[in-house]
Amino acid sequence: MSKFRLTDKVAVITGGGRGIGAKISEIFAESGAIVHLLDLNPDNATAVARSIRAKGNRAEVHGVDVSDQASMVRTMDLIARQEGRIDILINNAGIAQVGKLEDTSEADFDRVFQVNVKGVYNSMYAVLLHMKKQKSGVILNMGSIASELGLPDRFGYSMSKGAVLTMSYTVAKDYIADGIRCNIISPARIHTPFVDEFIAGNYPGKESEMFEALSKTQPIGRMGKPEEVANLALYLSSDEASFITGTNFPIDGGFIKLNT
């Protein structure tokens, strides 16, 4: 029997239309899950869902803003009614912010907080009653190496990912008796379309040079791959990880331990 199967598990993935979220959606579906992709841009998510369905697996798309609590509650309630339960929540939606404290405007701070902090809170809030009712559930929140280390020139982003870490620890403690597990994945730099867009927008004409420089910031000498993060998410969401909760899992090419 294959391990790490999610056969007929109902999995909700926020930010499921691009990058890490898209790869998690694809790998979960290949492992037997019924995936629901939540994304602010439903066109991206629809393309991912179409690819999943073409392989004979199930995927649904919901255009939703994770910072809007009422919308998130409606969406989670809809999924629970449609499927009868929600087994897994992957809080992957997030945005970046560049700048030190003095460079971070109130608008910048609020924007990052609304998506990266309130969005995680809203998603967990919206799914919690369903998981408590069924006395089981897995919540996996996407942190960052910034959850443990204050990254230079990333004041707002580091703030938001630190909040994700401590929210996750508290949820793991508060709901362990309800059969709900909550863990955190903290990636270093992962090669996604966002990275390519960031380099092209900020270093025109020096894309190859900057890609190499950013890759070497990881001691292992390269950026991570979305499928590497997705495979860790698969394990932590599976029954094989049923003894794991309240734990942060860096996936960082040695960044935290070998750079400190």
pLDDT tens for residues 127-138? Answer: 999 999 999 999
Expressed in angstroms, the distance from the first to the final Cα of the chain is 41
* Contact (Cβ atoms closer than 8 angstroms) between residue 10 and residue 183: no
Q: What are the residue ranges spanned by the domains of the chain?
A: 10-188+225-258, 190-223
Give CATH superfamily name and number for 10-188+225-258. NAD(P)-binding Rossmann-like Domain (3.40.50.720)
Active site residue 157: yes
pLDDT digits over 103-113, tens only? 999 999 999 99
Q: Could you tell me which residues come within 8 angstroms of residue 97 by beta carbon, excluding any fewer than 6 positions away?
A: 104, 108, 111, 112, 154, 155, 156, 157, 160
**Is the pLDDT at 88 greater than 60, yes or no?**
yes
Please provide the average confidence, as pLDDT, over all residues in the chain.
96
Helices vs. strands in the chain: H and E counts, helices first: 10, 7
pLDDT digits over 13-65, tens only? 999 999 999 999 999 999 999 999 999 999 999 999 999 999 999 999 999 99
What amino acid is encoded at 212 in this protein? E
**pLDDT at residue 202, rounded to an integer:** 81
Closest among 244, 252, 183, 249 to 222, alpha carbons compared: 252
* Contact (Cβ atoms closer than 8 angstroms) between residue 9 and residue 35: no
What is the Cβ-side half-sphere exposure of residue 73, based on CA atoms within 13 angstroms?
5
Closest among 124, 138, 140, 129 to 179, alpha carbons compared: 138
Residue with tokens 């690819």: 51
**Of 121, 157, 175, 203, which one is the catalytic site residue?**
157
Rounded Cα–Cα distance for residues 56 and 69 (Å)? 33
Residue with tokens 């867009």: 197
**Is the pLDDT at 231 greater than 80, yes or no?**
yes
Rounded Cα–Cα distance for residues 206 and 221 (Å)? 19
